[in-house]
Amino acid sequence: MDQQTKNAALGPTTPLQIRKRTSRLPSQSEYVIKDIRDPERPNSLEDLNVVSEECVCIHTLSMDEFLVIIRFTPTIPHCSLATLIGLCLRVKLERSLPFKHKLEIYIAEGTHVTEKEINKQINDKERIAAAMENSSLREIVESCIKERDD
């Protein structure tokens, strides 16, 4: 049985299970998104139940590469900032994950009226790059993902 077949048989793993299986991943990589701030409020996305440790799923693709899937839940079904929240999640994870990875970010199924359109936007590399070229938008993202002293 090859490694990919073994990994598929194991199914998805949580960040904690990954850490137990390999010591290469530092503990801070388990949950780097919990302190991202909401664009409109001083609360973190975790405080607002937009993200939780359960919304993070990691699949082993190979011995040194992982697929990280995030499914976040907007505070309301017509949240106008869902795309921005997805962008913040992507930027924070791309900068923070210390291992080779593929990243997929989705709105949890049934939690937003335009989830399919937003999912497409937040997983499109060209749209992400264009959004981050916008200085106003980049400033908001940087503010939301900035490390805070508690």
pTM for the full predicted model: 0.79
Q: Domain for residue 100, yes or no?
A: yes
pLDDT for 23 equals 34
Q: Domain for residue 150, yes or no?
A: no
Torsion from C-alpha of 143, 108, 106, 101, nearest 10 degrees: 90
pLDDT for 150 equals 56
Q: Which domain holds residue 30?
A: 3-145
Query: Do strands 56-62 and 65-72 pair parallel, antiparallel, or not at all (unpaired)?
Result: antiparallel
What's the Rg (C-alpha) of the chain?
A: 16
Contact 108, 51 (CB under 8 A): no
Q: Domain for residue 49, yes or no?
A: yes
Q: Which amino acid is at 47?
A: D
Can you give 78-90 as a three-state secondary structure string? CCCCHHHHHHHHH
Q: For every one of its 150 residues, what pLDDT tens digit does the chain have, with 9 covering 90 and above? A: 444 444 444 445 444 444 434 333 433 444 689 889 999 999 999 999 999 888 888 888 888 888 999 999 999 999 999 999 999 999 999 998 888 889 999 999 999 999 999 999 999 999 999 999 999 999 999 999 998 765
pLDDT for 85 equals 97
Question: In what order do the strands lie in the sheet containing 100-107?
Answer: 56-62, 65-72, 100-107
CA distance 118 to 54: 21
3-class DSSP assignment, residue 23? coil
Q: Domain for residue 115, yes or no?
A: yes
CATH number of residue 105's parent domain: 3.30.300.130
Q: Domain for residue 139, yes or no?
A: yes
- The closest of 131, 49, 129 to 83, measured between CA atoms, is 131
Give the total number of structural domains in the chain: 1
